[in-house]
Amino acid sequence: MRKAGFLIAMALLALPATAMAQADEYSKSALKEMAPKWQAAYNAGDAAGLAALYAEDGALHPPNSAPVDGREAIHAFWTTVMESGGSTELTVKDVYAMGESAAEVGMWVGTAADGSHADHGHYTIVYKMVDGRWQIASDMWNSDMSP
């Protein structure tokens, strides 16, 4: 009887871990759609659509620059950046889902409006769940090119 009780207790303890793992796999699947959405909005010059991917209290951390806090300021930042034209290609390396938070790491390549190579580097994005959907909480990137 003791052994049966122990086995039942262990099974009950394992259920939340299994459910969490399944939820994290579901989240990873949903998160894999975020980079293509970001890239499409950026490449279309859609600053409003791009800003909508960020949480209201989200932040950008551009290289060699002060942080940009809040969706409205993020919208203004991307509007200014997009005025020069060009495009960005993202390559996602890993996505980590951790309950109501997640992270994505990858590489980016920027192309100037004339088609020339503009810059390239790495990025890390932290996501948070807001009203049942993933939004960008923090977006940080760097350039791999020498100044």
> 55-66: per-residue pLDDT in tens?
999 999 999 999
* pLDDT (0 to 100) of residue 20: 42
More confident residue, 3 or 129: 129
| CB proximity list for 10: less than 8 A, separation 6 or greater | none
Residue type, 34: M
Mean pLDDT to the nearest integer, 90-104: 94
* pLDDT (0 to 100) of residue 15: 46
Instruction: Kindly state the percentage of the chain with pLDDT values over 70.
Output: 82
- Is the pLDDT at 95 greater than 60? The verdict is yes
- Is the pLDDT at 72 greater than 90? The verdict is yes
* pLDDT (0 to 100) of residue 35: 95
* Cα dist from 18 to 11, 13, 24, 128, 132, whole Å: 10, 9, 10, 21, 21
Give the chain's mean pLDDT.
Answer: 88
Per-residue pLDDT tens for 9-54?
555 555 454 444 444 665 777 898 999 999 999 999 999 999 999 9
* pLDDT (0 to 100) of residue 21: 47
Left if phi > 0, otherwise alpha if psi is -120 to 50, otherwise beta: which for 45? left
